[in-house]
């Protein structure tokens, strides 16, 4: 198979996986103040692309972080338990931002690989033009 | 030169090698955050040439595992994005060299045949 179409398949799988990860990060951040919210975690897995035989990446599964959210004493809150505590979300802003940075970096690296592959392909077509 | 068209075969093989290498690098970058993924690379083109001899240039090069210093992460992934970008740059350069040699050899043949350059 043409290596350049294999590259497109591999890179697009990577971009999809990373943008899904970014989506989960933004969901977590949006729900940072939702009571009882548990942050979503994503894990990647490699998969064999049948057409090109290359190792593409896929989202293996989305899990909920089992860590307990912080309990805050607020007896007047409608969601407070019998002892007057409210469970907050277990989202840590710093972790989410770090995760988003890593996803963005991997996304940009994938884009760069695609640009370079296109450049190589253009070089081949230039020979045909002569 | 005109009796020996090996230069086209070798330049073509080098271009194919560079494209295949870019494909392996793309797999590394896509799996940069996959737990347990080991970074890979192709053996250098020179090595492939030595192994198979220049007569047969269609043999595909071997895939080898790379060990970048300090790239191992606790989840078993050994991809270093920086290293991959360096390697991708090298692959593009190699491809450009190969296509330029091919094009120049073509021009030389045209000149020898008395055609316009």
pLDDT tens digits, B4-59: 678 888 898 899 999 999 999 999 999 999 999 999 999 888 888 887 766 565 66
Q: Is the CB of B86 inside 8 Å of chain A's CB atoms? A: no
Residues of B with CB below 8 A from A114's CB?
A: 26
pLDDT for position A19:
95
The pTM score is 0.86
pLDDT of residue B1 exceeding 60, the answer is no
Q: Is the CB of A118 inside 8 Å of chain B's CB atoms? A: no
From the list B17, B9, B20, B19, the residue with the least C-alpha distance to B102 is B9
CA angle B64–B39–A63, rounded 5-degree value: 145
Q: Is the CB of A5 inside 8 Å of chain B's CB atoms? A: no
pLDDT of residue B63 exceeding 80, the answer is yes
DSSP structure class, residue A117: H
A residues 24..83 contacting B (CB < 8 A): 43-46, 54-57
Burial grade of A111 (CB within 10 A; 0-12, 13-18, 19 or more): middle
The least confident of A26-30, A55-59, B77-81, B111-115 is B111-115
| φ and ψ at residue B60, rounded to 5 degrees | -80, 145
Mean pLDDT of chain B: 85
Q: Tell me the average confidence (pLDDT) per consecutive run of 10 residues in chain A, 130 residues long.
A: 88 95 95 91 91 89 89 87 90 94 95 95 90
What residues does each domain of chain B span?
A: 6-110
Residue with tokens 């890979």: B40
Q: CA-nearest residue of chain B to A49?
A: B27
Q: Which helix (H) or strand (E) holds A59?
A: strand A55-64
Q: So what's the ipTM on this one? A: 0.85
| Chain A nearest CA to B62, separation (Å) | 15
Interface test mutation site (partner A, options B22, B29, B30, B34, max chain A beta carbons within 10 A): B30
pLDDT for position B10:
87
pLDDT for position B56:
61
CA angle B4–B9–B13, rounded 5-degree value: 155
Interface test mutation site (partner A, options B26, B39, B82, B94, max chain A beta carbons within 10 A): B26
């Amino acid at each position: 198979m043409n290596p350049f179409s294999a590259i497109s398949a591999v890179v697009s799988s990577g971009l999809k996986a990373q943008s899904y990860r970014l989506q989960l990060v933004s969901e977590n951040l949006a729900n940072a103040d939702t009571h009882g919210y548990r942050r979503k975690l994503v894990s990647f897995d490699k998969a064999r692309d049948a057409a090109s035989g290359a190792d593409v990446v896929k989202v293996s599964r989305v899990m909920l972080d089992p860590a307990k959210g912080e309990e805050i004493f607020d007896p007047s809150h409608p969601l407070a338990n019998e002892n007057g505590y409210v469970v907050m979300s277990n989202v840590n802003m710093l972790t989410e931002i770090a995760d988003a940075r890593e996803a963005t970096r991997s996304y940009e690296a994938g884009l760069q690989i695609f640009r370079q592959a296109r450049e190589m392909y253009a070089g081949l077509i230039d020979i045909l033009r002569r | 030169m005109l009796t020996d068209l090996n230069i086209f075969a070798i330049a073509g093989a080098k271009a194919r090698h560079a494209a295949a290498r870019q494909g392996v690098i793309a797999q590394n970058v896509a799996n940069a955050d996959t737990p347990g993924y080991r970074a890979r690379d192709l053996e250098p083109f020179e090595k492939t040439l030595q192994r198979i001899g220049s007569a047969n240039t269609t043999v595909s090069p071997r895939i080898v595992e790379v060990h970048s210093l300090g790239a191992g992460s606790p989840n078993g992934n050994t991809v270093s994005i920086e290293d991959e970008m360096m390697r991708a740059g090298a692959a593009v350069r190699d491809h450009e060299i190969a296509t330029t040699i091919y094009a120049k050899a073509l021009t030389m043949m045209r000149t020898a045949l008395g055609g316009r350059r």
